[in-house]
Amino acid sequence: MIFTTFTGVVASLVLSATLLPAAPPVQALEAVQAFEAVQGRSSLEQPHECARAVARCDGTLAVPLDWSDPSSERIEVAFAWIPAPRGATGTILANPGGPLPALPDLPRIQQALGPALDHQNLLVVDPRGLGRSSPLLCPGLNLVEPDTIAACAAHLGSRARFFTADQAVHDMDAVRRALGAGPVTFYGRSYGTAYAQAYAARHPEGLAAAFLDSTMVTSADGYALWPLRSRPDLLDVVCDRSPACRALPGDARRTHARLVARLREHPDPEVPLITLTSMDRMAEPVVGRELNAAATAYLAGDPAPLRRLARVMTSPPAQPIEGPEWAGYLAYRCGDGGFPFDRDADPAERLDQLERYFLRERPLAPYTPADLGLDLRKGLEFCVNWPTPRRSPVLPPGADLPDVPVMVVGGDFDTHTPAEVSAAMRVFPDATFVRVPFGTHSLSGASGEMGDCVRAALRSFVTDHRVPRMRCTAENYRALGAFPRSLDEVAPVPAAGLDAERRRLLGAAFATAADAVARRNPYNFLHGRLADQPGLRGGRVTFGAGSITLDGAAFVPGVAVSGQITLTPEGRATASLSLPRPDGPAYRVELAWEAFTADDRPPLSGTFNGTPF
């Protein structure tokens, strides 16, 4: 889970951080030496009882609060150990991200790993301060209220500084050793990749390989970056793949900037700017397919396509960000994170630095904070009010990372770009980055063919530590070039035996059907939940299980289409449609096509009033 919150607003925006003072490169070595010293203490010297288990065993282990101080207080970390049922050839240490409790995600981790667990032990540890591992708790904590964050930090006191990834990975390795497990394959997803990097730096002897999905990138001084930036580049990523979109005037990024300026100067209550920001992340295939054409249409005086998108995208599900248990999340985010303010600065100076950063760098461009209802002086970043006195980089600069196989998968639409992740992972001597076109975040937990493909690669890699050849992609659509305002603007479908007018009517019928089917792209979330929706230019579209009903639905003005569309789980679409005409019986149209492909013109077959094409 990666999200950034503003006062009263939760958004999937992204932030790059200025460089912070480097931590001493020897810090990791000192911590490892302290770990070795503590191994002889009574809490760790005996094998854990779960080491003898032949089925799932849930346990706890007492570990030092501060691994560099063997005499520090003891805290308990909780874990689940699942021995391989058919003879173990290795052990997987998995973390699903957050930073949140890991154990509740155990069923999803097992589902992702699937049959690989027949011969692999599985170890999942709740990171300290989270879930069942000595949780940090702050009554009254609300992450959108800065005063409660400051009060939480004061409530927890100096102990909170030790609830960070550098300490948590010592706990994980202590559990590994107590179970008698050999070097692990670390499966990290999202924030779990930060733990994986911290583990590799501090316990290279305990790492056999790593599979990193949706990687957290660290700054030059080793802290995890929580990007807070707009991503207008994603508009170009989608548009550049589509000849129809490329044919639109200007480039997608500049068109979007013009749209933002228009909406700022002439606000449209049906398209608030805050809603527009939820669109330009490209996470929803319908948005990727339509946004640039809708923006172009809006600027040309046709607001209907953009307003239709905005109605669906206005109210994404809000993330719960209040409650005592969010204290642990804050400890990791702030202790591990790199932000555009100094770790040693007090809250007032941090706010000043943050404000200067936004004025200088304009990371939200083409938006301004005011466009989004944000006040830079009121808690734009959670961690402004969280003290970070201890140096605790996730990946210490100059760390001697192990020469083990590391497979890294990342999507075009993830928090960090493929180029950023690929460059960051070069610190590993044997890392291979695999880009997933149009992929979003947490690929190995995704639905559809792309998710199945990534999970197959994950299972293969954790089994033999060889990077498999994979062609996983979520690129199953092409961006539109226009929303026709009349039948004359519809491209005629090539069809022998039909005159130009009927070929245009056939094109309008197919465009209407394809528009409806696009709402059932398997990678949609919000559009995939629609039960019905008005047609773009009139009528209604109703969605059922494997079927779509058109009731006078008009994608092209004046061309009302009725009928039934059937969609198979494999994405094969067939349609039986009727198009009324004023001077005779309705035209009957039968269509068949592959719905979700990256083809500019997917093969289309069928009949028009009995004439095949």
What pLDDT, in 10s, does the model give residues 394-413? 999 999 999 999 999 999 99
Which long-range contacts link 3-6 to residues 24+ away (Cβ below 8 Å)?
A: 3/319, 4/226, 4/228, 4/381, 5/143, 5/144, 5/321, 5/382, 6/144, 6/372, 6/373, 6/374, 6/379, 6/380
Statement: residue 379 has pLDDT above 90: no
Statement: residue 38 has pLDDT above 50: no
| Residue ranges covered by each domain of the chain | 1-480, 484-613
Q: Residue 50: which pLDDT band, with cuts at 50, 70 and 90?
A: very high
Residues 435-471 have pLDDT tens digits of 999 999 999 999 999 999 999 999 999 999 999 999 9
Q: Residue 373: which pLDDT band, with cuts at 50, 70 and 90?
A: confident
Statement: residue 18 has pLDDT above 60: no
Check residue 12 and give its pLDDT: 35
| CA atoms within 13 Å, Cβ hemisphere of 489 | 12
Q: What average pLDDT score do residues 12-35 get?
A: 32
410 to 199, 222, 454, 457: CA distances (angstroms): 20, 20, 10, 13
Residues above pLDDT 90, as percent of the chain: 84
Statement: residue 39 has pLDDT above 80: no
Residues 554-607 have pLDDT tens digits of 999 999 999 999 999 999 999 999 999 888 899 999 999 999 999 988 999 999
Q: What average pLDDT score do residues 377-405 get?
A: 91
Statement: residue 11 has pLDDT above 70: no
Statement: residue 507 has pLDDT above 60: yes
* Secondary-structure percent of the chain, ordered helix, strand, coil, rounded to 5: 35, 20, 45
Q: Residue 316: which pLDDT band, with cuts at 50, 70 and 90?
A: low
**If one looks up domain 1-480 in CATH, what number appears?**
3.40.50.1820
Check residue 37 and give its pLDDT: 36
202 to 115, 191, 195, 392: CA distances (angstroms): 30, 17, 10, 12
Check residue 10 and give its pLDDT: 36
Containing 463, the helix (H) or strand (E) segment is helix 448-464
Residues above pLDDT 70, as percent of the chain: 92
Residues 54-67 have pLDDT tens digits of 999 999 999 999 99
Min mean pLDDT across 38-47, 129-138, 315-324 is at 38-47
Is pLDDT larger for residue 103 or for residue 34? 103
Is pLDDT larger for residue 316 or for residue 156? 156
Min mean pLDDT across 162-176, 309-323, 404-418 is at 309-323
Tell me what the pLDDT averaged over the chain comes to.
Answer: 91
The sign one gets for the Cα dihedral 160, 164, 166, 168 is positive
| CA atoms within 13 Å, Cβ hemisphere of 553 | 29
Q: Residue 283: which pLDDT band, with cuts at 50, 70 and 90?
A: confident
Residue type at 301 in one-letter notation: G
Statement: residue 9 has pLDDT above 70: no
The answer to whether the CB of 399 falls within 8 A of the CB of 28 is: yes
Q: Residue 423: which pLDDT band, with cuts at 50, 70 and 90?
A: very high
Statement: residue 236 has pLDDT above 80: yes
Residues 509-564 have pLDDT tens digits of 999 999 999 999 999 999 999 999 999 999 999 999 999 999 999 999 999 999 99
Q: What average pLDDT score do residues 491-516 get?
A: 94
Is pLDDT larger for residue 388 or for residue 369? 388
Statement: residue 318 has pLDDT above 80: no
Check residue 144 and give its pLDDT: 86
Q: Residue 378: which pLDDT band, with cuts at 50, 70 and 90?
A: confident
Statement: residue 118 has pLDDT above 90: yes
Check residue 381 and give its pLDDT: 84
Check residue 228 and give its pLDDT: 84
Report residue 29 as tokens. Answer: 């070595």
| CA atoms within 13 Å, Cβ hemisphere of 81 | 27
Check residue 280 and give its pLDDT: 83
